[in-house]
């Protein structure tokens, strides 16, 4: 019962130990030793992010691969493992002869320092070639048409270099992608003196600065406790980047305004919230079993915070109350931070009037039966602290808890509600929960919905699988205090500060023009291929002209289109900036400065003929007419505006329209002319893909987009995402995340490309602590999904 002891909290008033029971393991993939589970569990596995046909298809593919694989390559080897490899060489065998350092076993060792832990002594790494066989992928030998092409690309190593290889961002030489003519100073030499020291990292506006206070209301500092003694802690970042770390293959930090000259290790990121210290000290006990040299620095200022009695709901409410006058009243338009958007600044005669800002809710979709772990708790402490408390209540975090049992009297009896909370949510988050059930959705959206064009899942129209947006629509109607709503999930993680992520996504999307927005949003941005965002914009404009399709910036017409009440009254969602020239050819300024109604984290693709499984799960439209035009973004993590949710709500209750969860918000935005933006956040790949191959695989749909025929979201093409950091079937996301947390992982390498769970056990305490190791990992900000498990004991 190792797992139970790891997870159970060492407290007598442990109100949620019951939820840590061992048979709640449904969300853990590849745990082959599980007990048989009831049917509902299988549906859980298939809900939302995993589609059963994809799963079946993948199982089939894996089976074929397994057949082809030899038994070699799965044994453990601890000799000759190097942390740093020469990633700059163009050709592995060439590099070998250049480096000429002879025996592979000596490579990568530091010269001039004996144990690497001396701290003060100068240590020089000679970074040499990786001549270990496992670092050079064998060319595939099987000739199976179904073997994905990308399995032939070499795995990248630079992610796994540690803190001791930290360099200033200007000296950073990414292993991938290589810039043209990139010189390989082989062997690369790194020097350091001990471990670098992290510094506090706060991406929120400087609320005390005159720049801020001249425009906005005073921000009252928020505390974790009632007595206002425990301030919300800072997180820590390292100033620099680990040498060799690859650049994102798709998306970009700098485009969105997210810093890429710093990196985060596990202690700087989560130490302030309870990682790395014991229950008796008020921590979460996790991370003690990983390498932790000099981790203490992150507790120097605040001490190890005792989180035992923190009530996050109460802390959030107190924070909002203290800052109430900063925010626009419901219905009143608010200006938006950050400070750079001073345009809407209001002036009175005395110039004392300050702009009020609007608020955003982050709504986390929780469900009864989710197995909470200490790592999950850490993640949500970080989210609440960074977004809600550190922003003085600009953001608020809510858990929308799906109660699966429709017979529970959740509106009649507070004792029942308390029992459900006790059984399903850690006590510290109880005050943030809103319960809902599918029975409630049937009451809220009554009447006949009509037949669906297709219904591949066979699910209930009011069920969470097909209509996850229903409870969010209702939540928005109940919470007029929020202008925007981030839909978020339990198995997403962000290395970096959550405020920086959400704030920059919002402000970047706001600056985007409506002209060409649907076309740009339908395509993955690959900086190494496309150049700057301006280059990308021109390319998309040219491709749009070439396609012969009219660009879309406002509401669309289609047979059978029905109007909203507001449209019947003659109202439009287009901002004034779109009517400056003429509606026929509005200026590029159209939509610039307008808050986005929808921000997605994957492209908004045309679902028609895309091969996406649920492309025709469309309900309530006349079957005698063509299916309406649709857009969709995979993974429901997205920001929706109040007015978009109001549109969705009205279409649902009044017109009985709905579509599969990932398609409905985007399609409603398309039909009614709302502003929808895909934000190209940084996405990494585990292999050295040819840049053109990425474009071919990921923008291979109609007119070089992600939509239509050839879409990367076609069931047949989705395997391409397995090596990325952000897709529901990603294998690399979990591997990277757990290695970063400090746990050894099978590296997925080996003959024929290797796959998840194959290869060697790499990383983890033993490897990170070895004298010739570069230490624990430090990664630049990145979103990872899906994270189905974190601590190795969860697999037992």
Binding-site ranges for ligand NAG (CB under 6 A): 91, 93-94, 531-532, 535
By beta-carbon proximity to ligand NAG, the closer residue of 250 and 335 is 250
Q: Supply the angle between the helices 642-653 and 664-672 in degrees, to the nearest 10.
A: 100
Distance of CA 532 to the CA centre of its chain: 23
Closest CB 93 distance from ligand NAG, rounded Å: 4
Q: Which is nearer to ligand NAG, 520 or 755 (CB)?
A: 520
Burial of 753 (0-12, 13-18, 19+ CB in 10 A): buried
Judged by CB, which is closer to ligand NAG: 91, or 478? Answer: 91
Q: How far apart are CA 310 and CA 596, in angstroms?
A: 35
Question: Which of 104, 361 has the CB closer to ligand NAG?
Answer: 104
Could you give the CA distance from residue 581 to residue 550 in angstroms, rounded to a whole number? Answer: 18
Helix (H) / strand (E) containing 360? strand 360-367
Task: Reply yes or no: is the peptide bond before residue 404 cis, omega within 30 of 0.
Answer: no
Residue 627 DSSP one-character state? P
Measured from the CB atom, the residue of 2 and 534 that comes closer to ligand NAG is 534
- Closer to ligand NAG by CB, 490 or 526: give it: 526
Q: Smallest distance, Å, CB 154 to ligand NAG? A: 11
Task: State the SS3 of 281-305.
Answer: HCCCCCCCCCCCCCHHHHHCCCCCC
Smallest gap from residue 524 Cβ to ligand NAG (A): 15
Nearest distance, CB of residue 96 and ligand NAG, angstroms: 9
Nearest distance in Å: CB 523, ligand NAG: 15
How far apart (Å, rounded) are the C-alpha atoms in residues 124 and 114? Answer: 11
Q: What residue ranges in 626-780 does DSSP mark as E strands?
A: 631-632, 638-641, 658-659, 676-678, 745-746, 761-762
Q: Which residues pair with 191 in a beta bridge?
A: 124
CB of 94 to ligand NAG, least distance (A): 4
Both tokens assigned to 214: 């001249």
Q: How far is the CB of 782 from ligand NAG (least distance, A)?
A: 24
- Min dist CB 530 to ligand NAG, Å, is 6
* Nearer to ligand NAG among residue 252 and residue 725 (C-beta): 252
Q: DSSP character for 327? A: B
For ligand NAG, give the closer residue by CB, 248 or 759.
248
Smallest gap from residue 132 Cβ to ligand NAG (A): 17
Q: Could you tell me the smallest distance in angstroms from the CB atom of residue 149 to ligand NAG?
A: 17
Q: How far is the CB of 682 from ligand NAG (least distance, A)?
A: 19
CB of 595 to ligand NAG, least distance (A): 29
In the bound state with ligand NAG, the residue whose beta carbon lies nearer, of 34 and 184, is 184
Give the residue with the Cβ less far from ligand NAG, 93 or 199. Answer: 93
The tokens describing 442, both together, are 């049937």
Q: Tell me whether residue 133 or residue 261 sits nearer to ligand NAG (CB atom).
A: 133
351 contact partners, CB below 8 Å, separation of at least 6: none
CB atoms within 10 A of CB 434: 15
- Give residue number: closest CB to ligand NAG: 531
Name, in order, each residue with C-beta under 8 angstroms of 367's C-beta and a sequence gap of 6 or more.
Answer: 44, 401, 402, 404, 424, 464
Q: Number of C-alpha atoms within 13 angstroms, CB side, residue 314?
A: 10
The answer to whether the beta carbons of residues 356 and 332 sit under 8 Å apart is yes
The answer to whether 454 and 467 are in contact (CB under 8 A) is no
Nearer to ligand NAG, 93 or 179 (CB): 93
Q: Measured between alpha carbons, how far is 299 from 292 in angstroms, rounded to an integer?
A: 13
Residue 720, CA distances (Å) to 445, 703, 729, 787 in order: 38, 19, 9, 18
Q: Least distance from C-beta 97 to ligand NAG, angstroms?
A: 7
Min dist CB 532 to ligand NAG, Å, is: 6
Rounded CA separation 453/321 (Å)? 48
Least Å from the CB of residue 781 to ligand NAG: 25
Element (H, E) at 666: helix 664-672
Which residue stretches of 451-568 are H helix?
Answer: 469-478, 498-511, 517-521, 527-530, 533-547, 565-568
Burial 321-360 (b: 16+ CB within 10 A, else e): ebbeebbbeeeeebbbbbeebeeeeeeeeeeeebbbbbbb
Q: Indicate the Cα dihedral angle 485, 490, 495, 497, nearest 10°.
A: 40
CB closer to ligand NAG out of 537 and 616: 537
Q: Which C-beta is closer to ligand NAG: that of 94 or that of 571?
A: 94
d(C-alpha 320, C-alpha 423), whole Å: 28
Quick one: 91 or 141, whose CB is closer to ligand NAG?
91
């Amino acid at each position: 019962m190792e797992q139970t002891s790891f997870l159970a909290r060492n407290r007598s008033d442990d109100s949620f130990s019951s939820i840590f029971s061992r048979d709640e393991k449904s969300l853990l993939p590849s745990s082959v030793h599980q007990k048989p589970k009831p049917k509902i569990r299988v549906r859980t596995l298939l809900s939302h992010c995993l589609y059963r046909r994809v799963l079946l298809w993948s199982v089939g593919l894996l089976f074929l691969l397994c057949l082809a694989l030899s038994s070699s390559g799965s044994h453990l080897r601890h000799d000759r493992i190097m942390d740093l490899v020469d990633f700059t060489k163009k050709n592995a065998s060439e590099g070998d002869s250049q480096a000429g350092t002879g025996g592979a076993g000596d490579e990568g060792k530091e010269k001039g320092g004996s144990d690497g832990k001396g701290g003060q002594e100068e240590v020089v790494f000679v970074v040499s070639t990786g001549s270990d066989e496992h670092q050079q992928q064998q060319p595939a030998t099987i000739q199976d048409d179904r073997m994905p092409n990308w399995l032939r690309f070499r795995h990248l190593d630079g992610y796994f270099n540690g803190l001791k290889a930290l360099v200033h961002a200007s000296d950073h030489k990414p292993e991938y992608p290589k810039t043209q003519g990139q010189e390989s100073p082989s062997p690369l030499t790194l020097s350091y003196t001990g471990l670098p020291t992290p510094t506090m990292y706060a991406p929120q506006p400087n609320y005390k600065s005159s720049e801020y206070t001249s425009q906005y209301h005073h921000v009252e500092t928020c505390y974790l406790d009632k007595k206002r003694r425990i301030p919300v802690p800072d997180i820590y970042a390292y100033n620099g980047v680990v040498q060799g770390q690859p650049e994102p293959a798709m998306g970009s930090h700098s485009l969105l305004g997210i810093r890429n000259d710093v990196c985060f290790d596990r202690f700087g990121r989560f130490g302030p919230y309870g990682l790395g210290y014991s229950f008796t000290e008020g921590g979460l006990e996790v991370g003690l079993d990983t390498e932790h040299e000099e981790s203490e620095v992150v507790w120097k200022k605040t001490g190890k915070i005792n989180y035992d009695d923190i009530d996050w709901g109460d802390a959030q409410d107190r924070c909002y109350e203290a800052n109430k006058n900063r925010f626009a009243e419901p219905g009143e338009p608010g200006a938006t931070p950050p400070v750079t958007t001073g345009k809407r600044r209001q002036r009175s005669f005395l110039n004392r009037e300050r702009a009020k800002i609007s608020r955003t809710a982050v709504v986390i979709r929780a469900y009864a039966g989710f197995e909470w772990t200490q790592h999950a708790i850490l993640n949500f402490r970080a989210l609440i602290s960074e977004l809600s408390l550190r922003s003085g209540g600009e953001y608020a975090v809510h858990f929308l808890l799906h109660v699966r049992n429709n017979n529970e009297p959740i509106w009649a009896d507070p004792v029942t509600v308390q029992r459900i909370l006790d059984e399903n949510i850690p006590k510290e988050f109880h005050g943030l929960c809103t319960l809902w059930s599918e029975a409630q959705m049937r009451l809220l959206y009554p009447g006949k919905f009509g037949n669906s064009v297709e219904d591949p899942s066979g699910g209930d129209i009011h069920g969470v699988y097909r209509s996850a947006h229903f409870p969010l629509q209702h939540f928005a109607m109940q919470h007029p205090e929020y202008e925007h709503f981030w839909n978020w999930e339990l198995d997403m993680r962000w290395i970096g500060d959550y405020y920086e992520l959400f704030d920059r996504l919002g402000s970047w999307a706001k600056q985007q023009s409506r002209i060409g927005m649907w076309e740009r949003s339908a395509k993955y941005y690959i900086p190494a291929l496309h150049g700057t965002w301006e280059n990308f914009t021109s390319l998309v404009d040219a491709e749009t002209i070439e396609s012969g399709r009219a660009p879309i910036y406002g509401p669309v017409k289609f047979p059978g289109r029905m109007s909203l009440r507001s449209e019947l009254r003659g109202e439009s969602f287009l901002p004034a900036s779109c009517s400056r020239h003429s509606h026929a050819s509005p200026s590029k300024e159209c939509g610039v400065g307008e808050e986005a109604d929808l921000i997605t984290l994957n492209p908004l693709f045309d679902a028609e003929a895309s091969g996406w499984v649920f492309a025709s799960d469309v309900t309530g439209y006349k079957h005698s007419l063509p299916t309406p035009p649709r857009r969709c973004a995979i993974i429901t993590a997205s920001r929706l505006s109040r007015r978009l949710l109001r549109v969705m709500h009205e279409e649902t209750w009044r017109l009985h329209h709905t579509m599969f969860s990932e398609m409905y918000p985007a399609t409603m935005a398309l039909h009614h002319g709302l502003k929808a933006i895909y934000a190209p956040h940084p996405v990494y790949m585990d292999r050295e893909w040819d840049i053109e191959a990425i474009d071919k695989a990921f923008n291979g749909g109609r007119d070089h987009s992600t939509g239509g025929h050839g879409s990367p979201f076609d069931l047949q093409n989705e395997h391409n995402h397995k090596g990325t950091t952000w897709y529901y079937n990603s294998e690399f996301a979990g591997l990277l995340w757990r290695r970063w947390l400090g746990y050894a992982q099978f590296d997925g390498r080996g003959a024929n490309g290797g796959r998840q769970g194959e290869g060697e056990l790499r990383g983890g305490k033993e490897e990170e602590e070895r004298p010739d190791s570069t230490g624990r990992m430090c990664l630049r900000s990145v979103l990872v999904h899906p994270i189905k498990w974190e601590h190795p004991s969860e697999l037992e």
